[in-house]
Amino acid sequence: MSIRGVAHIAGIFEHPTRHAKDKSVAQLHGEVAAGALADAGLTLDDVDGYFCAGDAPGLGPLSMIEYMGLRNVRHMNATDVGGSSYVLHIGHAAQAIALGKCSVALITLAGRPRAEGMATGTRPRNYGADLPDAPFESMYRPTVVNMYAMAAHRHMHEFGTTSEQLAWIKVAASHHAQHNPHAMLQKVVTVEDVVNSPMVSDPLHRFDCCVISDGGGAFVVVSREIAASLARDTVKVLGHGEAPKHLNAGAVDLTFTGARWSGPIAFEEAGVTPGDIDYASIYDSFTITVLETIEDLDFCAVGEGGKFVSDGNLISGVGTLPFNTDGGGLCSNHPINRGGLTKVLEAVRQLRDDAHPAVQVKNCQIALAHGTGGSIGTRMGSSTVILGRADA
């Protein structure tokens, strides 16, 4: 049994804001939901499935279903695996649709860390005494940046990866972001700009890090029957994989991510190989996140990621693997520190020929979106989805 072809993404919406001073979190969720439903040509009452994660306030689905006035929900899901949640939700929504549990699933993400002054990457977070790992980690002041930095250092040590190679990932993102009027950072940067930007936590410079932004996004996953009834071009869900990765009882290896396991599951279900992927949205909390994920998804051999991303190989129209053509988290946005949902949105745009003409991949038939949640320096969730045009 497989989810291949049972579900389509029928509508998407990305909130244009990057600094939501005057909007609440619930309001942002509601606005992106309305946008995605309108894009699909569906109404509030068509929604019978609702998915959200830890960014939704209160009791997640219970709070948001009431706020948004959803009246017909018969399937709800609040799986929270950090920024990878929304990629995972596609797979879980397709499963629910395959079993007849719902036929129109709405997935929302929204938040306002920037308006709230959150030092997302550089300040340790307090998760409380019940967190089982906290007594053995929290006093050492792990932050988002220094955890990813430790993965980068080890990757450099084992494979000779360089800061200049990592910088190419940011350079490619910036080439795409210049065409996105909503992107926070629209200036094209060079390798020199990246390696000369201030060191945050060695070996990661400021330009190796994603932006902190408010906003959000939503998409609607529907059954193939609903998809066929809509005027909108839809995108077919071909395959999905998910995997946790952790510190493995002290057998630590930070040179790879859970994508090594989620990827093959998704490729097998979709019946495609990495060579068939025309466009990839790769979670880019940091440059090292992209580099390790590209290796893990078998776009290149393990340890070869640095060479693979160099010389513009990720730039649309230039290289072999156009990635994050909206500018991604490195340049456009990273709503509520969770970049998985926006990865899906740009993959859908590419498959609908709705990306900016300057970055649109010609004849884009098969796309991949990958989410990473938690931290590649400790414990993470990885989720991979493979999407195709409606006739794929």
Partner 1 sequence: MSQERILPAPPVNVEHEEFWAAANDGVLMVPRCKDTGKFFWYPRKLSPFTLSQNVELVPASGKGVIYTYSVMRRADPPYAIAYVTLDEGITMMTNIVDCDFDKISIGQAVSVVFRETEGGQKVPVFKPAG
Residue 175: C-alpha distances to residues 39, 194, 301 (Å): 27, 13, 25
Q: Closer to partner 1 by CB, 200 or 355: give it.
A: 200
The DSSP secondary structure of 308-334, one letter per residue, reads HHGGGTTSTTTSSS-B-TT-HHHHT--
Site for partner 1 in 220-249 (CB under 8 A): 247, 249
Q: Closer to partner 1 by CB, 108 or 143: give it.
A: 143
CB of 155 to partner 1, least distance (A): 9
Alpha carbon distance 370, 386 (integer Å): 9
Among 100, 117, 181, 250, binds partner 1 (CB under 8 A): 250
CB of 158 to partner 1, least distance (A): 9
Give 213's strand partners: 335
- Residue 201 binds partner 1, judged by CB under 8 A: yes
Q: Closer to partner 1 by CB, 142 or 339: give it.
A: 142
Q: Contact at 8 Å (CB) between 295 and 303?
A: yes
Amino acid at 163: S
Q: Closer to partner 1 by CB, 17 or 143: give it.
A: 143
Which string of x and - marks every residue 130-169 that binds partner 1 (by CB under 8 A)? xxxxxxxxxxxxxx-xx--xxx-xx--x------------
State the CB neighbour count (10 A cutoff) for residue 57. Answer: 16
- Residue 24 binds partner 1, judged by CB under 8 A: no
User: Which DSSP helix (H) or strand (E) runs through 204?
Assistant: strand 204-205
- Angle at the Cα of 189 from the Cα atoms of 184 and 191, rounded to 5 degrees: 135
- Residue 209 binds partner 1, judged by CB under 8 A: no
- Residue 129 binds partner 1, judged by CB under 8 A: yes
- Residue 302 binds partner 1, judged by CB under 8 A: no
CB of 302 to partner 1, least distance (A): 17
Largest distance between two CA atoms of the chain: 56
The phi, psi pair for 318, rounded to 5°, reads -115, -55
- Residue 196 binds partner 1, judged by CB under 8 A: no
Closest CA to 343 of 376, 372, 316: 372
Q: Closer to partner 1 by CB, 146 or 383: give it.
A: 146
Among 100, 181, 198, 275, binds partner 1 (CB under 8 A): 198
Which residue shows structure tokens 């990866």?
A: 161
CB of 194 to partner 1, least distance (A): 16
Among 6, 42, 254, 330, binds partner 1 (CB under 8 A): 254
- Residue 117 binds partner 1, judged by CB under 8 A: no
Q: Closer to partner 1 by CB, 205 or 343: give it.
A: 205
Closest CA to 47 of 218, 290, 231: 218
The DSSP secondary structure of 118-129, one letter per residue, reads --TTTS-----T
In the complex, the residues that contact partner 1 under the rule CB under 8 A are: 122, 124, 128-143, 145-146, 149-151, 153-154, 157, 198-204, 247, 249-252, 254, 378
